[in-house]
Amino acid sequence: MEDKMVLVTMTGPDRAGIIAAVAGCIAESGARICDIEQSVAHTMVSLSVLIELPEGMRDQKPLLKELLFRAKELGLDLDFEPVDPQSYQLRQSGCMYVLTMLGSEVNAEVLTRVGATLAVARVNIQRINKLTRGRLRCVEFVISVPDGLDIKELTRQLLNAGVGLGIDIALQKENLYRRAKRLVVLDMDSTLIQVEVIDELARLAGIGQQVADITHRAMNGELDFQQALCERVALLKGLSSEALEEVYRALPFTPGAKNLVRVLRQLGFKTAVISGGFSFFTDRLKEELGLDYAYANDLVIENGKVSGEVRGTIVDGQRKAELLEEIARREGIALSQIIAIGDGANDLPMIGRAGLGIAFNAKARVREQAQYRINQPSLDSILYLLGIAEWEMAELEE
């Protein structure tokens, strides 16, 4: 005879001692707990316990009667239903994913639209977690996906829904690699900082619009990066090294950038900036933020002035990806354990190599090609994709 299973659910005011009382009853009866889940919203608790009744235990009534008595003592309502062991095994075999929703507010309309999209795809929500304090700004669903479902199509539908609702949505497989990231690689211009350094230098040189136009076309992938870089650097010939210092002192960090690096360092991550800009700036950022690695182009300065040339191998998109892999080899880190963040077309190769490649407030072409895209004002919102809650970040404050 097959063992019986029953799902017991208790709801009501939260208080200490609930688990001890419920588990005690089950232990005394000789039954076995197969699954257990508890959540608390404000002051109300919901506890679900899947109990397996062994073959020799023909009558489940004494156990349920005792659980009902304990529930009443604790001020809880109790409900139960039989569970088919075969259906339980089928539900357990589904692939698990984490769906993260992030925006200024994850409101009821968002949850309705996303929930309906999942329901049509026969996707079951196993657990819902809130990752922000106060107003709902980040919510994650842990979902069970039926075998054979087209994940790319589901992702496309969810991303389209997110655009229409003004939120970002990310769908990641829930596995060890999601929780075992070890290296974060960042672009500099318009990612770690809010400006394009070369445009700021050009502004001081009196050729701001001319260079900005070339930069815009290069970041959109309309121009070959190396050609565009050399063309712009040549226009900077004669600019004084004092101008470079002036630009560095005025660099505006992207909101949340310093907090992101601080949290990552305290959690033991390796951090790197790989830029198509200039080492004059990335070296200083490395020292200021405590980054582990910094790579960029070497701008030649002679007699205190920009020569109009760069020295050595140009850090274009392909070189960025190569440097990411070089760091990974040096640190003994798998590509699946890397997060790469950038905004321009030259970031796409490294974004594509990383286990979690993120287009951050990116150009249109980059948003279209990147697997993950975040359009939030604060760079540390990236941490939500790792399942790190707002209060956990606060615990790491220096």
Active site residues: 187, 189
As a whole number of Å, the CA-based R_g of the chain is 27
Give the span between the Cα atoms of 327 and 120, in whole angstroms.
Answer: 43
| Chain centroid offset of residue 308 CA | 39
Please report, as a single letter, which amino acid is at residue 312.
G
Give the span between the Cα atoms of 240 and 387, in whole angstroms.
Answer: 46
Contact 385, 358 (CB under 8 A): yes
What is residue 327's three-state secondary structure?
A: helix
Give the span between the Cα atoms of 335 and 98, in whole angstroms.
Answer: 20
Give the span between the Cα atoms of 272 and 292, in whole angstroms.
Answer: 6
What is residue 118's three-state secondary structure?
A: helix
359 dihedral zone (left: phi>0; alpha: psi -120 to 50; beta): beta
